[in-house]
Chains A and B, each alone.
Chain A
């Protein structure tokens, strides 16, 4: 069940990213929706879940949205899932601002890793614009915090409904 949920989340994000890329290509550049399940699983589940989901998300991203060496995004997101999971196991990341910071770190880490890996692979790296990096990171932070709020509210309602049904 957990595996199916993880796959569904990944596919949903893939679809949303594709739809966004079609709808507003400029906005899609600043919005890495494939990062959401990585952060979610790393923060809400475990380091291992974060890594595995990161690997799958990255490979899907490589397959659909990346031209060049296959596996680059998979490598990045696996490492990020592991790092974020480790962060979540050491710190209490239950507050919105902490999740926002987690999202910001994930985005900055993603950009930094991409730069390093491309240099190592001797691939041409896109020029780094600090403002753009910060914008992307801010958007990712907001997205992570918002998605946690929405999903948790939905889960809380489900549990409440289930409790009421059980009592009845």
Chain B
């Protein structure tokens, strides 16, 4: 028998293989046991390797998912940080508004009680050195503010306007060394002149030696210097000394803390000696 050439051999092998697989397909379609056995046998033989591969695939997938989640968490973390910062800023603003609200309400109440010609102002900056005690407010000549107008805040007198620009004005505070204001002890009606002394407490001068002044007495404006209305708080007596010749040595704690000033009220019309209760900071309390 002559040997077949390779092409024919291949053709025969192909036919045999295809025929075998057609039988397999037919058997499989019928649910034949032999076909199932071959399939099961192949799977059983290669199962360990496929198990390793599927394990490796799962592990890699898990690792990728983990990395993706980690990256997502990082981005989310950044977003949340930004959000927290925003919320913190909003919270700080809200707290500021909560604190500002009663102050403004009181100022508004004062303004309503006071002469109609007054204007609220915000403190732009403060110059608080040993020698100068000034604040700058955001009102000026455009708003009717000019030099020598009194400036008050909740609690009492603040100072007087020393110069005014179009939209800004400088206010000399009561504790400025060149500041003078006429005061009266509210309880005993003893009068004197309150001098600013820089960082030292206010001093009430020209108080007669035998006059009735006690610690914690409240001193208010008398209105005699023609700038401040009567009854605006200046301070509380913190020290009384008798050894200063014909005068008592009286020192006051200021009614208004210049470091804490944020809003003030500028009185635009001369109020003379009119009694001013609203700026009293609680009427003798």
Contacts and interface: CB of A to CB of B under 8 A. Distances in A.
A110 to B, nearest CB: 15
A133 interface: no
B98 interface: no
Interface of B: 6, 9-10, 13-14, 17-18, 21-22, 24-25, 27-29, 35-36, 38-39, 42-43, 46, 49-50, 52-54, 56-58, 60-61, 64
A18 B52 CA distance: 9
A15 B17 contact: no
Contacts of B64: 23
Main secondary structure of the interface of A (DSSP, over half): helix
B43 A64 contact: yes
30 contacts: A11-B46, A11-B49, A17-B53, A18-B50, A18-B53, A19-B53, A19-B60, A22-B61, A23-B61, A23-B64, A51-B13, A52-B17, A59-B21, A59-B38, A59-B42, A60-B42, A60-B46, A62-B39, A69-B25, A70-B25, A71-B28, A71-B35, A72-B25, A75-B21, A75-B22, A78-B14, A78-B17, A78-B21, A79-B18, A85-B10
Contacts of B13: 48, 51-52
A79 to B, nearest CB: 7
B43 A48 contact: no
Contact of A14 (B9, B35, B49): B49
A74 B52 CA distance: 24
A18 B207 CA distance: 103
Contacts of B25: 69-72, 75, 121
A21 interface: yes
A14 to B, nearest CB: 6
A98 interface: no
B14 A82 contact: yes
Interface string A8-29: 0001001111111111100000
B21 A74 contact: yes
